[in-house]
């Protein structure tokens, strides 16, 4: 029972993290140099893991269940709640929009037809699951997570004969922040931490949250590294903005199907979890009725898509650097305030010897990334 709860809880995080962002990583790696991209991925992955552990401790220091903005209000006040809420919603709306764009492109490539029509169809199906809520999604996430890993393994087997390891080259510190926004967008999943706690809270199993966070944040980074290595080794400088499109062109129809399924599973999983998290923000933290929360969650991405905002890579890069970076800075401040003003004894505590230097590194990296983007 305990192991299954940990898997379900970590699957919520994995499902939120692994989404459309993975498809833009190989392109970002090629632009910066493959090894530059790998180093940035390792650094950002470590920052997000520590930040998620920070926020896990925040949730466990708090008796009431909130979403990200609710915890920010409790420990930093209404002004920071509203700033955090704006940034968070900007990033989440951007993510839902990116998934809508990416799903249309993938379905169109695999099955032919209009990318626009496929995007609308995928959006409507996933919106249904968001409306149904967390209970149905947490069961689906576990199955989808297994399928994603299985498809990645299959894709690696198919691509191996076509890989040229000479393409895995390039290192330039001057290009350090070129892949920053895309990687930060791909790695971010802090919004899922309260959802992961909620899964465990229902069974009074919060002691497992630390393990769920460690698994939930480590698996995506490993998946990203393997996926980027495979794609860049096969397509090299011809790597496309949506990675599986170029990969299928280089390898053939089998890769088209497997890569397409991988992309569809990853983006659908993240869309559902993020959508439920957004709905929870409106319901729990802004006290919106359920119907209004659903409308607020699902309307804007569809409207923006219909208005013509359909540039996949630009959406994920800007959303990552601005929204995730600023949200992370506020989350660090929330963590330190919760240390002194929490109303509950947490099931785990990050020791100061790690928390202090990690906070400094996270703040410096995120500020530098924001400065570069602006």
Quick: pLDDT tens for 248-261. 777 877 877 888 88
**CA atoms of 303 and 301, how far apart (whole Å):** 5
Asked whether residue 138 carries a pLDDT value surpassing 70, the answer given is no
Cβ(280)–Cβ(196) under 8 Å?
no
**CA atoms of 128 and 312, how far apart (whole Å):** 23
Question: What share of the chain in percent tops pLDDT 90?
Answer: 29
- Angle between the N-to-C axes of helices 193-201 and 34-60, in degrees from 0 to 180, rounded to the nearest 10: 40
**CA atoms of 215 and 213, how far apart (whole Å):** 5
Asked whether residue 20 carries a pLDDT value surpassing 70, the answer given is no
pLDDT at 136: 61
pLDDT at 331: 93
Q: Which of 26, 370, 329, 311 is nearest to 179 (CA)?
A: 26
Predicted confidence (pLDDT) per residue in 196-234, tens digit: 888 887 777 788 899 999 999 999 999 899 889 988 998
pLDDT at 359: 96
CB atoms within 10 A of CB 176: 18
pLDDT at 217: 94
DSSP 32-79: H-HHHHHHHHHHHHHHHHHHHHHHHHHHHT-SS---HHHHHHHHH-HH
CA distances from residue 52 to 74, 99, 205, 215, 328 in whole angstroms, order as listed:
18, 23, 18, 11, 9
* Domains, the chain, with CATH or none: 2-373 (1.20.1740.10)
Q: How does the average pLDDT of the chain come out, rounded? A: 85
**CA atoms of 97 and 270, how far apart (whole Å):** 12
pLDDT at 59: 94
**CA atoms of 145 and 300, how far apart (whole Å):** 28
* pTM of the shown model: 0.82
pLDDT at 40: 94
CB atoms within 10 A of CB 149: 17
Cβ(231)–Cβ(239) under 8 Å?
yes
């Amino acid at each position: 029972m305990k192991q299954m709860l940990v898997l379900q809880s970590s699957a919520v995080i994995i499902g939120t993290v692994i989404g459309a962002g993975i498809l833009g990583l190989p392109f970002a790696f090629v632009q910066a140099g493959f090894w530059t991209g790998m180093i940035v991925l390792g650094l950002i992955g470590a920052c997000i893991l520590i930040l998620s552990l920070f926020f896990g401790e925040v949730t466990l220091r708090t008796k009431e269940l909130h979403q990200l903005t609710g915890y920010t209000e409790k420990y930093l006040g209404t002004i920071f709640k509203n700033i955090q809420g704006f940034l968070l919603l900007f990033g989440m709306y951007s993510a839902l929009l990116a998934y809508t764009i990416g799903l249309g492109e993938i379905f169109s490539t695999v099955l032919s037809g209009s990318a626009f029509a496929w995007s609308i169809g995928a959006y409507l199906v996933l919106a249904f699951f968001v409306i149904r809520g967390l209970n149905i999604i947490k069961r689906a996430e576990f199955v989808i997570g297994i399928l994603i890993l299985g498809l990645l393994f299959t894709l690696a087997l198919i691509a191996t004969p076509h890989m040229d390891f000479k393409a895995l080259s390039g290192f330039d510190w001057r290009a350090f922040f070129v892949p920053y926004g895309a990687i930060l967008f791909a790695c971010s999943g802090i919004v899922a931490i309260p959802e992961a706690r909620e899964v465990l809270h229902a069974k009074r199993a919060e002691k497992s949250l630390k393990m769920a966070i460690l698994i939930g944040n480590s698996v995506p980074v490993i998946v990203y590294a393997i996926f980027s290595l495979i794609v860049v080794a096969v397509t090299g400088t011809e790597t496309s903005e949506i990675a599986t499109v170029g990969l299928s062109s280089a390898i053939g129809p089998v890769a088209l199907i497997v890569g397409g399924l991988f992309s569809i599973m990853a983006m659908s999983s993240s869309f559902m979890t993020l959508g439920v998290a957004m709905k929870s923000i409106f319901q729990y933290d802004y006290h919106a009725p359920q119907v209004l929360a659903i409308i607020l969650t699902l309307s804007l991405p569809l409207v923006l898509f219909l208005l013509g905002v359909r540039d996949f890579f630009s959406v994920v890069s800007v959303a990552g650097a601005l929204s995730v970076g600023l949200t992370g800075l506020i989350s660090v401040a929330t963590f330190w305030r919760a240390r002194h003003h929490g109303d509950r004894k947490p099931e785990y505590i990050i020791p100061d010897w790690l928390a202090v230097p990690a906070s400094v590194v996270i703040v410096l990296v995120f500020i530098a990334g924001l400065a570069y983007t602006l």
